[in-house]
A and B are shown apart, each in its own frame.
Chain A
Amino acid sequence: MTEKNRIRMLSFSLIFGFFLIWEVLCVLLDVSDLVLPRPSEILVTLWVKFPILVPHIAQTLYSTLTGFVLGVAIGTALGIMVGTSKVAYAVASPLLVGFSSIPKVAVVPIFVLWFGSGTTPAILTAMVICVFPIVVNIATGLATTEPDLEDVLKTLGASKREILVNVGLPRTMPYFFAALKVAITLSFVGAVLSETVASNRGIGNVMMTASSNFQVSLVFAGLIILALLGVALYSLFSLLERRVTGWATRGNDIAMS
């Protein structure tokens, strides 16, 4: 426990130290706040503008999470299809790799063209950007399931569905959660990206507008908000992961009862 606390302390010191050095360097080198505002200035801006920022935060969270949920749903379904059949895996691989190598920035204009600016392209961008890590991880998890474990169920006369539910999917959970943690941060990137390009709401739009008005500290305040939201959601999934896949990391806290 003390070890855990020590790491927490160090982690906190690192973050604090980072901002402290930033602050000190800005003062020492006399950096203009039009180039790089001091953290204290950013904090003040954040505090003052927070009431105006709340609806934008809500908007970005809404786009991100909706896109994320859709992406996970589609990714899971595709991953199961591709992962349970060797043929499907081989056939679909080139197309999937092709899709996943497209820079997602490039699809935003297309979504805007189709759906106009606003929430829809943000949700769709968040979705497409997180589908592929999910598909790849679920497919890998299923495809690498030990045949021995499946044989146990096969000798009992289990159906394909029973094998998937009782062996394939639980076995895939560590992969799935690893993908979720990547996907949630990617969804943020997607949503904000789309907001900067084509939207009049959301943190991305706030930052874009602020930068064209030279409100540099507001741009940085937006960054801080994004970082905080990212950390919060990432932690949420880490917590869930430890609950669900403790067996894979031999989590003592749940196993020993």
Chain B
Amino acid sequence: MNILNHHKQSTGTPLQVGPSPYRYAVELQSASVVFGKGDDAVTALSPTSLKMDAGDFVALVGPSGCGKSTILRLVSDLIQPSSGVVLVGGREASAKQLRIGMAFQNPTMLPWLTIEQNVMLPLKIVAPFKATFRKDRKGAYRDRVHRLLKQVGLQDFANHYPWQLSGGMLQRSNLCRALIHEPDLLLLDEPFGALDQFTREELWQILQDLYLDRKPTVLLVTHDLREAGFLAKRICVMSARPGRVISDEPVNIPQPRDISMIYSPEFVEMTQGLRELIAQVRK
């Protein structure tokens, strides 16, 4: 499916054939973030530039506190740049030109809602879904939620409350909630950080399937180099705080990738290279 045309339909503007209305899905032009003023000012992100095509899958890696999450918060308009420009879908991030799905490091499920209701939440908030939410929540939307939950193996937990689920299950729900409204842009902030290796690898494969299914633009922040290498088309390495992008390399392995690939010599060599680069910038 053509993501851009799909997007155009969703915002109600005439369907446009031909070149896309914007050059990049995400574009940071020397965007920086400074918290506080005067002597107390803390630079969270040095002027950083980054471009992502529609349908691209970029992993951001780097040492702790280097501003990876800050970039995600800029793109999702949770914070505004102190200088520079952040364009999403060719317009300022605040314009919400693209439909965004975001998964945080904490699953942040609302504790008073069931998993089904939690996953359905974006359909209640985001246009055009919200227009028919009252009508569809017991029908079409519920089916849609259940289909997605089934894809991640949670079909039997739709009516459970978040506290009844394990950490891994909550992260799956989190992923579902980020995807249910078919976002053009998926922002993932270390969504698998707190999981054991097996659950993590399983979720990588689920995420890869979901990505290849709909081809949204994905920006993934992670500490895990294998995760970055397995999932992403491009890996950007950031320097230590205050961070900026110091390396931007494609991952030249065709998708879909098999999980056994992460033990192949080429893959190990690539992650080793990244590892050394990060070890250097940490100093």
Judge whether A157 and B125 touch: CB under 8 Å. Answer: yes
Collect the chain B residues with CB atoms within 8 Å of residue A156's CB.
100, 121-122, 125-126, 181
Which of B28-36, B159-167, B272-280 lines the interface with chain A? Answer: B159-167
Collect the chain A residues with CB atoms within 8 Å of residue B187's CB.
155
Which label, helix, strand, loop or mixed, suits the secondary structure of the A interface? helix
CA gap between A160 and B3 in the complex, in Å: 29
Judge whether B78 and A151 touch: CB under 8 Å. Answer: yes
Query: Is B91 an interface residue, CB under 8 A from the partner?
Result: no
Collect the chain B residues with CB atoms within 8 Å of residue A155's CB.
76-78, 100-102, 187
Q: For chain A, residues 114 to 164, give those with C-beta under 8 angstroms from any C-beta of chain B.
A: 146, 148-149, 151-158, 162
Judge whether A157 and B100 touch: CB under 8 Å. Answer: yes
Q: For chain A, residues 20 to 40, give those with C-beta under 8 angstroms from any C-beta of chain B.
A: none
Query: Is B204 an interface residue, CB under 8 A from the partner?
Result: no
Judge whether A152 and B161 touch: CB under 8 Å. Answer: no
Write the nearest CB–CB distance from B157 to chain A, whole angstroms.
12
Write the nearest CB–CB distance from A240 to chain B, whole angstroms.
15
Of A148, A158, A248, A256, which is within 8 A of B108 by CB? A148
Query: Is B198 an interface residue, CB under 8 A from the partner?
Result: no
Q: Which of B76, B106, B112, B177: most chain A CB closer than 10 A?
A: B112
Query: Is A95 an interface residue, CB under 8 A from the partner?
Result: no
CA gap between A82 and B87 in the complex, in Å: 35
Of A146, A148, A153, A248, which is within 8 A of B125 by CB? A153
Nearest to A254 among chain B residues (CB) is B161
Q: List 19 A-B contacts (CB under 8 A).
A: A149-B108, A151-B78, A153-B121, A153-B125, A155-B77, A155-B100, A156-B121, A156-B126, A156-B181, A157-B125, A166-B110, A166-B121, A166-B124, A167-B110, A170-B112, A245-B112, A247-B111, A248-B112, A250-B163
- B-side interface size class: 20 to 34
Write the nearest CB–CB distance from A252 to chain B, whole angstroms.
10
Collect the chain B residues with CB atoms within 8 Å of residue A113's CB.
none
Judge whether B76 and A255 touch: CB under 8 Å. Answer: no
Write the nearest CB–CB distance from A167 to chain B, whole angstroms.
7
Nearest to A146 among chain B residues (CB) is B108
Query: Is B144 an interface residue, CB under 8 A from the partner?
Result: no
CA gap between A157 and B98 in the complex, in Å: 10
In the A-B complex, the 10 residue pairs with the closest CB atoms:
A155-B102, A247-B112, A155-B76, A156-B125, A157-B96, A148-B108, A170-B112, A158-B125, A255-B161, A247-B111
| Chain A 229-257 interface mask (CB, 8 Å, partner B; 1/0) | 00000000000000001011010000111
Which label, helix, strand, loop or mixed, suits the secondary structure of the B interface? loop
Tally A-B pairs: CB < 8 A: 62
Write the nearest CB–CB distance from A90 to chain B, whole angstroms.
19
Collect the chain B residues with CB atoms within 8 Å of residue A171's CB.
112
Query: Is A197 an interface residue, CB under 8 A from the partner?
Result: no
CA gap between A171 and B100 in the complex, in Å: 24
Nearest to B118 among chain A residues (CB) is A152
Write the nearest CB–CB distance from A150 to chain B, whole angstroms.
10
Query: Is B267 an interface residue, CB under 8 A from the partner?
Result: no
Collect the chain B residues with CB atoms within 8 Å of residue A250's CB.
161, 163
Query: Is A112 an interface residue, CB under 8 A from the partner?
Result: no
Query: Is A81 an interface residue, CB under 8 A from the partner?
Result: no
Of A148, A158, A162, A247, which is within 8 A of B161 by CB? A247
Nearest to B181 among chain A residues (CB) is A156
- Assess A157 versus B161: contact at CB under 8 Å? Given A149-B108, A152-B104: no
CA gap between A154 and B100 in the complex, in Å: 10
Nearest to B73 among chain A residues (CB) is A151
Collect the chain B residues with CB atoms within 8 Å of residue A154's CB.
76-78
CA gap between A162 and B159 in the complex, in Å: 23
Query: Is A224 an interface residue, CB under 8 A from the partner?
Result: no
Collect the chain A residues with CB atoms within 8 Å of residue B124's CB.
166
Write the nearest CB–CB distance from B237 to chain A, whole angstroms.
25
Collect the chain B residues with CB atoms within 8 Å of residue A173's CB.
112
Write the nearest CB–CB distance from B63 to chain A, whole angstroms.
23
Q: Which of A157, A167, A171, A257: most chain B CB closer than 10 A?
A: A157
Write the nearest CB–CB distance from A91 to chain B, whole angstroms.
23
| Chain B 81-124 interface mask (CB, 8 Å, partner A; 1/0) | 00000000000000010001110101010111000000001101
CA gap between A170 and B125 in the complex, in Å: 16
